[in-house]
């Protein structure tokens, strides 16, 4: 462990936080400002919230000598991304009453609500609690929302596998009752022993920790980008266990070569059940004890594993579990895209995957998506599952109810909307970026849709309009929209400027690489025009765009 004097400032905030309480309660009562105290800003992340301000209005506010327009974003804990109809109705109402109204589906299969004023935090959390929902540990240096592939293919074990997301999330939840005390007015715990936390101790993890479960053959959950990716191994419709991939993470910092995106390294196979939970737990304790607590830019598991070496990291986990990883079991991912439209699921019920551009559920112009989903939820005849690609599955619709749900989808033109969306748009992701993200260097979700319209024209020109090219944009190199794992990745460098990354594969086994720096829109379109032309004439049979650009631009 590091000496106290060497610890990063945030480590100290965690240690003295009294179980993540800090002075949050006092901050909430401070009526002189819409913000909360600085240290508390770090602590509320562990409770699932970020303090933000509207960056579009900074100048105007400053000119009037007003403080920034502070508000809060809240992110729900939804392992596997599942909501009942009643929970959807509650989410809809809370979003409208206490936040901007937009329900934002994230790249980790949950939702965020933005624009919540300080005075609305408690009512919001209370309302979610009544709907059996919480935001515990969705941010901060702790295990985050556990994702799971949304597509069972023909596997009847999908429910069993996705229940792991729930169980892992519960296993790795912090023991402190701070969330319940501060936001839900639970009585204060006087016996501190009751909340001793053998996993997180008092300093939690050195950095955020992410777990994702992938179910071959669809890698929609982008399993290798997680700190811990679990690849489900199924034989004859029976879940045998999981291959463990450790050390994924996508962020880097412009101009800092010590930081980099990395895919997880396969450690080995662990059988399903208790052994899997034990191994997961001990991967976290190894990161807790060996992760860098001095420099947050070197604190993710990917750096710990590169510093220790994969073998040493694995041995340390084995020493703690008391058993060895078995040999990696073979698996193949063939896809990473969502399976749009109606599909019968293994339980015999129906799922409809709806395209939600950049995960933004709202009523806008002709497209009244939010109203449509509320009407569906009110029938009580469907549940909802978010996908890791920011889309939504209307799920568990019984055969006898399918026509009623289909009629609502048709009435609101959502079937037409999904069917008429181009392949490239359906495979696009953008992170939030401006105006709420404090780290954004460039636009992302407000810009990608219009850029895609221009790229569609190029694809049409080159007769490539049906290509499922995975295209992702982020407003900075943190990679929230998983841009480093795209076939075409745009990574913001400054307002209206992006690095163009190419050569990621279609299935999620290979990251892309920097191709051209600091391009404006005209340059992006001119580069892509040329690349698409070369692809049309020079591709091998069935070669994807990512494989083509990797072969022609980076190999040899």
Which residues are designated catalytic?
75, 144, 208, 210, 431, 437, 476, 480
Contacts of ligand SF4 in 78-117 (CB under 6 A): none
Contact partner, 75, from ligand SF4, ligand SRM, none, Cβ < 5-8 Å per class: ligand SRM
Give the separation between CA 150 and CA 221, rounded to whole angstroms: 8
Residue for token pair 């480093």: 484
Q: x/- site string to ligand SF4, residues 388 to 427, per CB under 6 A?
A: ----------------------------------------
Binding segment for ligand SF4 (CB under 6 A), chosen from 11-19, 45-53, 340-348, 478-486, is 478-486
Residue found by looking up tokens 């293919």 in the block: 153
Q: How far apart are CA 184 and CA 124, in angstroms?
A: 10
Residue 433 binds ligand SF4, judged by CB under 6 A: yes
Interface positions, 79-108, toward ligand SRM (CB under 6 A): 106-108
135 binds ligand SRM, rule: CB under 6 A? no
Question: Which residue has tokens 């905030």?
Answer: 13
Piece of the chain touching ligand SRM by CB under 6 A; list 34-42, 91-99, 418-426, 476-484: 476-484
Write the CB contacts of 26 (distance below 8 Å, at least 6 apart in sequence): 37
Q: Is 440 in the site for ligand SF4 (CB under 6 A)?
A: yes
Nearer to ligand SF4 by Cβ, of 12 and 446: the residue is: 446
Identity of the residue, 144 or 497, whose beta carbon is nearer to ligand SRM in the bound complex:
144
Residue (251 or 372) nearer to ligand SF4, CB: 251
Residue 253 pairs in a beta bridge with 256
Give the DSSP letter of residue 328: P
Residue 273 DSSP class: T
Measure the CA–CA gap between 469 and 337, rounded to whole angstroms.
10
CB 524 within 8 A of CB 500: yes
Q: Can residue 431 be called a binding residue for ligand SF4 (CB under 6 A)? A: yes
Lookup: tokens for 312? 């040493």
CA distances in angstroms from 324 to 135, 241, 268, listed in the order given: 35, 14, 9
Task: Rank residues 110 and 243 by Cβ distance to ligand SF4 and give the closer one.
Answer: 110
Least distance between ligand SF4 and beta carbon 86 (Å): 30
As a whole number of angstroms, the distance between CA 518 and CA 261 comes to 19
- Which residue number, 248 or 475, has a Cβ lying nearer to ligand SF4? 475
Cβ(295)–Cβ(303) under 8 Å? Answer: no
Q: CA nearest 225: which of 514, 510, 419, 416? A: 510
* 407 or 439: CB nearest ligand SF4: 439
- Residues 245-264 touching ligand SRM, rule: CB under 6 A, are 249-251
- Nearer to ligand SF4 by C-beta: 266 or 299? 299
| Contacted entry of ligand SF4, ligand SRM, none for residue 251, CB cut-off 5 to 8 Å set by kind | ligand SRM
Q: Which of residues 399-438 bind ligand SRM (CB under 6 A)?
A: 431-432, 436-438
- Using CB under 6 A as the binding rule, whether residue 382 contacts ligand SRM is answered as no
Q: How far apart (Å, rounded) are the C-alpha atoms in residues 141 and 525?
A: 39
Residue whose pair of structure tokens reads 């990354």 in the numeric block: 501
Choose among 309, 279, 305: nearest CA to 292: 305
Q: Which of 162, 176, 478, 493 binds ligand SRM (CB under 6 A)?
A: 478
Per DSSP (E only), the strands in 161-236 are 211-214, 228-235
**379, 85 Cβ separation under 8 angstroms:** yes
Q: Is 479 a binder of ligand SRM (CB under 6 A)?
A: yes
The answer to whether residue 112 forms part of the interface with ligand SRM (CB under 6 A) is yes
- Cβ neighbours around 94 below 10 Å, total: 24
Strand extents, DSSP E, 184-288: 211-214, 228-235, 238-246, 265-271
Q: How many residues bind ligand SRM (CB under 6 A)?
A: 31
Binding site for ligand SF4 (CB under 6 A): 431-433, 437, 439-440, 444, 474-476, 478-480
Binding site for ligand SRM (CB under 6 A): 50, 52, 73, 75, 106-108, 110, 112, 138, 144-145, 208, 210, 225, 249-251, 300, 359, 431-432, 436-439, 478-482
């Amino acid at each position: 462990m590091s000496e106290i004097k060497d610890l990063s400032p945030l480590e100290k905030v965690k240690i003295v936080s009294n179980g993540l309480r800090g002075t949050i309660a006092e901050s909430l009562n401070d009526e002189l400002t819409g913000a909360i105290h600085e240290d508390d800003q770090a602590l509320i992340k562990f409770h699932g919230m970020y303090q933000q301000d509207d960056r579009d209005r900074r100048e105007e506010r400053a000119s009037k000598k007003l403080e920034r327009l502070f508000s809060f974003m809240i992110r729900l804990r939804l392992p596997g991304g599942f909501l009942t109809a009643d929970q959807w109705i509650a989410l809809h109402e809370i979003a409208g009453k206490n936040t901007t109204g937009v329900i934002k589906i994230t790249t980790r299969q949950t939702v965020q609500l933005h624009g919540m004023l300080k005075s609305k935090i408690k009512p919001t959390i209370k309302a979610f609690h009544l709907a059996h929902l919480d935001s515990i540990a969705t941010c901060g240096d702790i295990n985050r929302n556990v994702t799971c592939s949304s597509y069972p293919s023909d596997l009847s074990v999908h429910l069993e596998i996705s229940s792991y997301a729930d169980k892992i999330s519960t296993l790795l939840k912090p023991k402190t009752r701070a969330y319940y005390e501060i936001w839900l007015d639970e009585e204060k715990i006087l016996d501190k022993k009751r909340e001793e936390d053998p996993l997180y101790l008092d300093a939690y993890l050195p950095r955020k920790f992410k777990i994702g479960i992938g179910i071959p053959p669809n890698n929609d959950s982008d399993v290798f980008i997680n700190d811990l990716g679990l690849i489900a191994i199924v034989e004859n419709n029976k879940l045998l266990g999981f291959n463990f991939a450790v050390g994924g993470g996508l962020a880097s910092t412009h101009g800092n070569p010590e930081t980099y995106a990395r895919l997880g390294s396969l450690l080995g196979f662990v059988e399903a059940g208790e052994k899997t939970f034990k191994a997961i737990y001990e991967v976290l304790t190894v990161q807790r004890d060996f992760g860098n607590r001095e420099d947050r830019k070197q604190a993710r598991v990917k750096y710990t594993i590169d510093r220790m070496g994969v073998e040493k990291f694995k041995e340390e986990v084995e020493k703690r579990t008391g058993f060895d990883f078995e040999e990696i079991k073979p698996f193949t991912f063939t896809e990473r895209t969502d399976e749009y439209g109606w599909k019968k699921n293994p339980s015999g019920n129906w799922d409809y995957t709806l395209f939600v551009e950049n995960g933004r559920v709202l009523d806008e112009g002709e497209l009244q998506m939010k109203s449509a989903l509320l009407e569906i939820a009110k029938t009580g005849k469907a549940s909802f599952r978010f996908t890791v690609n920011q889309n939504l599955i209307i799920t568990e619709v019984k055969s006898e109810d399918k026509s009623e749900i289909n009629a609502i989808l048709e009435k609101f033109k959502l079937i037409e909307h999904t069917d008429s969306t181009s392949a490239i748009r359906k495979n696009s992701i953008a992170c939030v970026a401006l105006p709420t993200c404090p780290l954004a260097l460039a636009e992302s979700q407000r810009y990608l849709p219009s850029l895609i319209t221009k790229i569609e024209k190029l694809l049409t020109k080159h007769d490539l309009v049906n290509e499922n090219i995975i295209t992702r944009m982020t407003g900075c190199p943190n990679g929230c929209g998983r841009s480093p794992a795209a076939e075409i990745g745009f990574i913001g460098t400054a307002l209206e400027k992006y690095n163009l990354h190419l050569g990621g594969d279609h299935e999620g086994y290979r990251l892309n690489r920097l191709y051209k720096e600091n391009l404006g829109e005209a340059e992006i379109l001119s580069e892509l025009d040329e690349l698409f032309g070369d692809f049309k004439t020079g591709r091998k049979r069935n070669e994807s765009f990512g494989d083509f650009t990797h072969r022609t631009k980076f190999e040899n």
